[in-house]
Structure 1
Amino acid sequence: MKTKHIFFSGALLALTSVGCTDLDVDIKSQYTELPDSEIAIEATMNNAFYAFRAAIGRRYDEGVSCNSDEYTAVSFDSDYLNGRDMANFSLHMIDPTNSANQLNVYNDLQTGITNCNRVIFDLGGEDVPEVAPVRAARAFYTFMMMEHWGDTPILDHLLADDERIDRSPRADVARWIESELLAVRDNCYENVDASTYGKPTRWMVDALLAKLYINWNVYTQDVTSSSWDPNATNEKLNDCIAACDRIIASGYFDLSDDYKTKFMYNNGYQIKDFIYVMPFDASTAQGMTYARFRTWRRGQSENGFYSIPLTNSLGGNMTLTPEFVELFNLPGDRRNDVIAGNVGENIDMETFDVYQYNNATGEPTDVRNTYGGVDVTFTKSITLKSDPTADPPIVPDGDLNVGNDMTGWTQGYRSIKFFPNATDYNTYSRNQSNDVPVFRYADVLLMKCEAIVRGGTATNGDTPMSLFNQIRAYVNAPQIVGDPSLQDILDERGREFLDEHWRRNDLIRFGDFERDWGFKNDFNPNANDPRYRLWPLSLDVLNANTNWEQNAGY
C-alpha cells in the first residue's frame, strides 16, 4: 500500500469562487448547486479524472491485451472459460453477449464523460478556464471510445432524461477531439508534481494529440475496408512532431528511471517517464489486478512464484504468445527482465526453469519454484489439450483449453512487468498498488521517430536513429546504425509497451493486425476480416441505445 497525500492546486481552489447563474437546465438531470469546499470539489473532480480506473485495472486490460499478439487467453478444462469471453478476443471473434464484461467498458467511458459534463456544468460551463483539465479528460474518454468502437456519440453536454443522441462518424469525432484539445491545452495544469499526478496536464494533452495525429489515417479513413492503406500519406505528421516537441522542450520528462523498477508496486509521481497515469492503491484506490491473471495458475503456493505464499488464488489464464516473446531477443536489454521465460541470448530455448522472484525487488532468486514437490518449468509454446482416445474425444477448439493440470498451467511464458506486492495481494483481495501509465515520454520519442520515418519533417536536430537510440540506450540494448524501418519501430514498440494497452493500436496502424499469431486462424475462418479492427457494441449498450446499430461484421 502506498502513502497518499492530498494536494489542492491553485486552479482547483479558484473554482470555489465560480458561480452558476442564468442557466436553463432540467433540474431532474443536472446538478444546480456548486460544491462548497475544497474537499467536495476535489471529490467531484476525481469522479471526472479517474472514471477509467476500474476499467483499465481489469476488464479493459483483458480485452485489449488479448486482442493483440501479446496474449492468448487459455482455459483449464472449464476453469476460466467463462463462455470464451477472453478467448474470443484472442481469436478475433468477439461475441457481443459472451464478452459483455469486457465490452461494457464502453459504459465506464460514457460514465466518465457524463461525470465530466456534470463538473463542467456545476463549475460554470466550458468557458471557465479552470475546467480545461475536465474537458481534456472528456476528450480522452471520447478518444478511447472512438479508438475501439469507431463511430461515437459526441457527448458535449448533459443529456436530458428523454434525449437520445446518435453516434457520429469516426472522422468527425477525431476532428472534434482535436478541436477540444487545442482549445483547452494552455489552460490545463502546467506543473508536473504530486498535485497533478494522474490528472490532465497540458503535456497529457500534447501526448493525446500526438497519439491522435500518428493514427490520423486510422480514424479519418475507412480502416474496416480491405483497401485501407497503412502507408498512405498522413496529413498530420508535422502536427504530431510539433506536439512531441512541446513535451520534449518542457524539460519535465526523461528516461532516467530503471525500466523494470518504474512499473513496480511503489511507482508514482517520482517517475520521470510518466506523462499521464491511472493511479492505484491496493487499499484506497482499488481495481488493479494484473498479477491475478498473468501469474501461472498455482504460483501462490509454498515455494511459489513470489517467494511469499499468496493466500488468494491466481487465474493464470493470460499467457504470452510465443510470437510476441520472440521480440525480446536483444542481448542485455533490461526489458527482457519483465518476462518470466528464456529471452535475450537464450531466446532459442523452448523451456524455462522457474525460480522464485524476490518480492521486494522483483528480481529472480536462486530458489526453484516448485509445486507438489515438482520443479516448475514453463514452455514457450502453447499446446492445447488433445486426447482422441477419450470418451468423448478431446479435440482442440476455440475454448483454448490447455488442461487443468501441471502441464496445462505451465503453458507459455509470463509477464511480471506490473510486479505485485504479496502482502497487498493477500490483504486486499488481489489488489495491487502499481500505477498504470497511459502516456510515457518513451512513447513520445518513438511517435516522433515514426512520424519522421513516415515522411514528417525532422526538427531540433533529431533523426529517427537518434530518437530510436535514446530508447535503446536507457534499457542497455544494442544501438542501431542508420534509420530504423517501420518494422523496426513496430518491434521496438512491442518491447517497450508490453501490458500498456497500445499494442492493438500499433498493429492496426502498421497494417499488422491480421498477421498470423496464436490460434486465431486455426479456429476462426474470418480472422482476417478487416471489420474486426473495430470492436462490437455489447448487447447491453445496444439495448440502452435503441437508435444505434451494431458495428458491421458482428
Structure 2
Amino acid sequence: MKLETYKKFVFASLFIIGFTLSCTDLEIEGTDSIISEGSGDGGFTGVANPESALNDLYNKVGGDFATQENMYALSEVTSDELLIPTRGTDWGDNGVWRQLHTHTWTPDHQFVKNAWNNLNQNIFRASEIIETTSSSTGVVAQAKFLRAFNMFFVMDLYGSVPFREVDEGPEVNPTVLSRSEAFSFIESDLNDAVSGLSSVAPGVANVGTASAEAAKFLLAKMYLNAHIYKGTGTAETADMQKVIDLVDEINASGFDIQEGYFQIFEPTDDSETILFLRSDIGARIWNSMHYNQNSPDNTGGGWNGFSTLAEFYDLFEGDPDSNYVGDGQEERRGFVPDAATANNLNLGIGYGFLIGLQYNEDGTPLENRQGQPLVLKKEIPSLVGNGETEGIRVIKYHPYDPTEDDNVNSFRQHQILFRYSDAHLMKAEAMMRMGDDATALVNELRAKRTDTDPLPSVTEETLLDERARELYIEFWRRNDLVRFGQFTAPWGLKEVSGDPNVNLFPIPATALLSNPNLVQNPGY
C-alpha cells in the first residue's frame, strides 16, 4: 500500500547487541540501530541494484527460518510438538529451551529478541526495494510480498509492529502500528502483490520465490486468524468466505493434495508446495537425531536435542509404544526401519517419529555412547536430569536424498512453509466456523494418507488434531493453538497457565529502551 496513507509511521530502531543470555546491561550503543547509510538526511536515493537486493533478502529470510533458534523455537518449541530436555549438561543453555516449553520467557530472552530484530530488519530492507524508483513492477511485487510476510510474523508473535519510512533516520521519534493497523497494512501489501506477481503451477522451479498463489495463501492465513488479530474474538462469516475463495483459487492453479507424504519434503516436483524458503534444512534433521545416528555425509551424528511429547505421538493411529514397519501406524507417523527393512532399503534413519531400538543402514542395531542398545524412550520424566535416550525423535526432511546419485545428504535449500494441505485444512476450518459440515473435506485429505480411517465428524478438537498430524514441525503449531484457544492449556511437563497474555511474546527490552512509543504487552 502507499506508505503516505499511514502518515509516515516510523519503526523502532532495531538492535544487534552481543550480550549474553544472563546479561542485564541494556545500554544502547551506536551499533544498535539498523539504518541504511543515507537514511534520515533526505539522501535516500534507492538501492543500487534492486534485483540483487531482492535476491539477498530472499536469502536473508531463508536463513532466519533455517536455524533451530529464533523463529523455529518461538513457533514450535513453545507448543506441545517439541521439547528439548536437558540431558546431563547438554541442552541446558541457561534455561532458554525450558523457558519456552513452560511459557516463562521474559523480555530479554535471546530468541524473542533475535526474531524481533530479524523480522523488522527484513521489513525495512523490503521497503527500501519498494521505494527505489528503478525497481521494476515485478521486483516491487516480490518485495511487497516479503514485507507482508515478515510483518505478518511480527503481528502474529508480538502484536505491535514498528515501521519506519526509508528516508527517516534515528532522529525521528518512532511510532508504531497497532495490531489491527498492521493487519490492514499487510492486507494491502498482499493484494498489491497478487496483482503484480505471476500465477504459477506447481513445480520446483516455480515456488522458490513468491507467486500470486503464495500471496493468496498468506491472505487466507490472515483472514483465518482475523478475529485474533482484530481482537473481536469471533470469526466473521465474511472473513471465512474469503479463506474458502482464496483456497479455491489456489486449487484452480493446479495445487492439490499429493499422495506419498514424505516425498513432499524432497526437493522434487510435487503438487503441494506453494512456497519453499532458501533454508538449509540441516537443523531440521540433526537437532533431533541421537549422537550415533548418522548418514554417509554426516558421520559425526546428530545433536540429540529436540524430541516430542508422548501425548503428541499418541495423536496418530498405530501401536502406542512402537513405530516399526508394520505396526499399524498411519503414513504420517512414519516408521522406524527394523533390521530387515534397514538392510533392504539401505536406510538407517527412519521417517516421522523415531521410537525404540534404532538401526544403521545395514540392519545392525545402533548403540548409545555407553555401548548399550540405542533405544529411544517414549516418556520424558523431567525437564532436566535426563539420559541421552529419553524422548521420541522427529524428522520430516531426510538426510538420504534420493535426488543425489551417491545417496548422500546435499543439505538442500528447500524448506517448505506454504503447503496446499494446510490451505485445504484452512478451508475446512473456515467452513466449520461458518457452521457448515467440514467432515467430507477433512476426510478427503485423510484418504490421501494411507492407513487412516475416516473421521465420523469434525469438531474444533478433531480439526486441531488433524492439523497437528498433517503439519507438525512446519512452523504453524503455535499459531494454531492460539487460534483454537489451546496455547495456555497444560501438556507434558507444562502446567496450565490460564494467562492469555502469553499468547503474545513480550516486546524485547532493548526495543523498549530505544523506542518511547512502544508499549510492553500486558503481563510482562
TM-score (norm 2): 0.79
> How far off is 1:278 after superposition?
0.7
Q: What is the DSSP-based 3-state SS (H/G/I as helix, E as strand, rest coil) of the residue aligned with 1:540?
A: helix
Residue 92 of structure 1 pairs with residue 103 of structure 2: yes
Match of 1:240 among 220, 243, 254: 243
Give deviations 1:50-108, integer Å, cap 9, x for gaps: 432122111211232110100112112332211111211100111222x3135311111
Q: Evaluate the alpha carbon distance shift between residue 323 and residue 167 of structure 1 in structure 2; reply closer, same or farther with a 3 A threshold.
A: farther
Q: Evaluate the alpha carbon distance shift between residue 548 and residue 287 of structure 1 in structure 2; reply closer, same or farther with a 3 A threshold.
A: farther
Separation of aligned partners in 2, 1:490 and 1:32: 45
CA contact (8 A) 2:46 2:129 kept: no
Residue 538 of structure 1 pairs with residue 521 of structure 2: no
More moved, 538-547 vs 165-174: 538-547
Residue 175 of structure 1 pairs with residue 184 of structure 2: yes
Q: What is the DSSP-based 3-state SS (H/G/I as helix, E as strand, rest coil) of the residue aligned with 2:418?
A: strand
Written as runs of structure 1 = structure 2, the 5 A alignment for 1:152-551 is 152-155=161-164, 157=166, 159-192=168-201, 193-221=203-231, 229=233, 233=236, 235-251=238-254, 253-264=255-266, 267-268=267-268, 270-280=269-279, 286=280, 288-296=282-290, 298-299=291-292, 305-306=293-294, 308=296, 310-312=298-300, 314-329=302-317, 331-337=328-334, 352-356=355-359, 358=361, 366-371=363-368, 372-384=370-382, 400-403=383-386, 408-421=387-400, 432-433=411-412, 435-455=414-434, 464-480=438-454, 482-521=456-495, 527-551=497-521
Q: What is the DSSP-based 3-state SS (H/G/I as helix, E as strand, rest coil) of the residue aligned with 2:60?
A: coil
* RMSD across aligned positions (CA): 3.1
Q: What is the DSSP-based 3-state SS (H/G/I as helix, E as strand, rest coil) of the residue aligned with 1:70?
A: coil
CA contact (8 A) 1:100 1:539 kept: no
Q: What is the DSSP-based 3-state SS (H/G/I as helix, E as strand, rest coil) of the residue aligned with 1:198?
A: coil
Give deviations 1:501-530, integer Å, cap 9, x for gaps: 101111111111122102121xxxx72211
Give deviations 1:383-404, integer Å, cap 9, x for gaps: 12xxxxxxxxxxxxxxx2133x
Q: Evaluate the alpha carbon distance shift between residue 549 and residue 289 of structure 1 in structure 2; reply closer, same or farther with a 3 A threshold.
A: same
Q: Evaluate the alpha carbon distance shift between residue 33 and residue 115 of structure 1 in structure 2; reply closer, same or farther with a 3 A threshold.
A: closer
Q: Evaluate the alpha carbon distance shift between residue 311 and residue 185 of structure 1 in structure 2; reply closer, same or farther with a 3 A threshold.
A: same
Separation of aligned partners in 2, 1:85 and 1:456: 41
Q: What is the DSSP-based 3-state SS (H/G/I as helix, E as strand, rest coil) of the residue aligned with 1:356?
A: coil
Letter in 1 for 2:521: N
> How far off is 1:376 after superposition?
1.1
CA contact (8 A) 2:224 2:239 kept: yes
Give deviations 1:287-309, integer Å, cap 9, x for gaps: 7422232112x22xxxxx23548
Q: What is the DSSP-based 3-state SS (H/G/I as helix, E as strand, rest coil) of the residue aligned with 1:189?
A: coil
Give deviations 1:308-367, integer Å, cap 9, x for gaps: 4844464322110112111122545211116899xxxxxxxxx94322264xxxxxx643
Q: What is the DSSP-based 3-state SS (H/G/I as helix, E as strand, rest coil) of the residue aligned with 1:415?
A: strand
Residue 43 of structure 1 pairs with residue 42 of structure 2: no
Residue 144 (structure 1) aligns with: 153
Residue 79 (structure 1) aligns with: 90
CA contact (8 A) 1:54 1:287 kept: no
Q: What is the DSSP-based 3-state SS (H/G/I as helix, E as strand, rest coil) of the residue aligned with 2:416?
A: strand
Separation of aligned partners in 2, 1:536 and 1:339: 40
Letter in 2 for 1:100: Q
Aligned pair count reads 455
Identity percentage of aligned residues: 25
Separation of aligned partners in 1, 2:395 and 2:138: 42
> How far off is 1:455 after superposition?
0.8
> How far off is 1:434 after superposition?
5.6
Q: What is the DSSP-based 3-state SS (H/G/I as helix, E as strand, rest coil) of the residue aligned with 1:437?
A: strand
Q: Evaluate the alpha carbon distance shift between residue 422 and residue 244 of structure 1 in structure 2; reply closer, same or farther with a 3 A threshold.
A: closer
Q: Evaluate the alpha carbon distance shift between residue 492 and residue 33 of structure 1 in structure 2; reply closer, same or farther with a 3 A threshold.
A: closer
CA contact (8 A) 1:320 1:414 kept: yes
More moved, 146-155 vs 486-495: 146-155
Q: What is the DSSP-based 3-state SS (H/G/I as helix, E as strand, rest coil) of the residue aligned with 1:374?
A: coil
Separation of aligned partners in 1, 2:190 and 2:118: 21
Q: Evaluate the alpha carbon distance shift between residue 434 and residue 369 of structure 1 in structure 2; reply closer, same or farther with a 3 A threshold.
A: farther
CA contact (8 A) 1:316 1:409 kept: yes
Unaligned runs of 5+ in 1: 1-23, 36-40, 223-228, 281-285, 300-304, 342-350, 359-364, 385-399, 424-429, 458-462
Separation of aligned partners in 1, 2:493 and 2:43: 47
Q: Evaluate the alpha carbon distance shift between residue 166 and residue 495 of structure 1 in structure 2; reply closer, same or farther with a 3 A threshold.
A: same
Q: Evaluate the alpha carbon distance shift between residue 545 and residue 310 of structure 1 in structure 2; reply closer, same or farther with a 3 A threshold.
A: same
Separation of aligned partners in 2, 1:43 and 1:352: 45
> How far off is 1:476 after superposition?
1.1
CA contact (8 A) 2:46 2:133 kept: no
